[in-house]
Structure 1
Amino acid sequence: MKQSVKLVEVNEENWYDCCQLTVSSEQASYIESNAISIAQSKFEPTLKPYAIYFEEKVVGFLMYNSVLEELDGYWVYRIMIDQAFQGKGIGKVATALMIDEMKKLPNAERIVVGYHPDNMEAHLLYASLEFVDQGHRFGREMAVVKQIK
């Protein structure tokens, strides 16, 4: 599975495919559209958007910030897998690949991700990758932390 998943920076060849990806209607309220995220990255150049490929097809999108933010961590801004490809372990492999990239950032000691407490898929994914709920809350989102040093 791992060799079938790769991350490619969003570019002129894959941005439109990223914008076409969808999540289930239950998940839609938890995440911004990929089009909004890609636009946001053009105005905030520290954000790093990536297409998630599975067997050479764009099946997901993720984005993280390359500067330290709250909790002295690097934040994951988005991660999604198209509804047709969910449940195959692609999201977990892609998140692990993203963590490997984030570990290379200067002074990387922790990675933080925020999500709505009712988003059980996100909770299970991040818990499986050793993100810990330390009680941090930002508005309607909870933030979980992974220590990497």
Structure 2
Amino acid sequence: MGITLKPVSIENWYACTKLKVKTEQLNVFPAPVVYWIAESKYVDDFELRAVYCEEDVVGFIVFCMKPDTDDNHWIPAIMIDEKHQGKGYGKTAMELLIELMRTSNCKRIMIGHRPNNQIASNLYESLGFKKASEEVVDGEVIRLLQII
């Protein structure tokens, strides 16, 4: 499949801004990629990766290598372009990101998803993320991957 994660840079940032989710997913991923790129210039904790399949940018990830006060490392956003969904790219990209975070000594990885986003729920569960609690926080189910 040839999925890789590359830092967002001068060479690929514009291609990242062209990524879009399906219309029915706008409630799940309402902020366009350009928003995350802009925010990363002001939020020091955000790291960005373009998801590549061979030479094509097919997705985008935002994550934090700096832990919060509870030693959690967050993944605020992951998206795969509408033309590339359903091919396993999201799962492979998440596996690569988890390994990157693991090798950087992240012990607790947190991610959220909307309660009705069954695709995200199934994906995160398949990767070992467990519900952090039964309550919905800021409109999201919060999940935790504990790395031993």
User: Does the residue aligned with 1:29 lie in a helix, a strand or coil?
Assistant: coil
Of residues 13, 16, 22 in structure 2, which corresponds to 1:15? Answer: 13
How big is each residue's C-alpha offset from its partner over 1:58-104, in whole Å with a ceiling of 9 and x where there is no partner?
00000101111265310001100001100000000000101111113
If each structure's strand is expressed as a fraction of its own residues, which one has the higher value?
A: 1
Quick one: which amino acid aligns to residue 132 of structure 2?
Answer: Q
| 1:48-67 matched pairs, under 5 angstroms | 48-67=47-66
Deviations 1:5-64 (A, max 9, x none): 000000011101111011111111112211101111110122100100002100000010
Q: TM-score, normalised by structure 2?
A: 0.93
Q: Which moved more, 1:62-71 or 1:29-38?
A: 62-71
Gaps in structure 1 of 5+ consecutive residues: none
Aligned length: 146
Deviation at 1:134, TM superposition (A): 2.9
Give the match for residue 40 of structure 2: 41
Cα distance in 1 for residues equivalent to 2:91 and 2:80: 10
* TM score, norm. by length of structure 1: 0.92
> Mapping of 1:80-99 within 5 angstroms?
80-99=79-98
The structure that is helix-richer by fraction is 1
Q: 1:27 aligns with which of 22, 25, 28?
A: 25
Report the identity percentage: 37
Please report the RMSD computed on the Cα atoms of aligned residues, expressed in angstroms.
Answer: 1.3
- Report deviation, 1:119: 1.1
C-alpha change, 1:83 and 1:70, in structure 2 (3 Å) is farther
Letter in 2 for 1:6: T
| Counterpart AA for 1:130 | G
In 1, Cα distance between equivalents of 2:122 and 2:26: 18
Could you list the runs of 4 or more consecutive aligned residues of structure 1 that deviate by over 6 angstroms after TM superposition? none
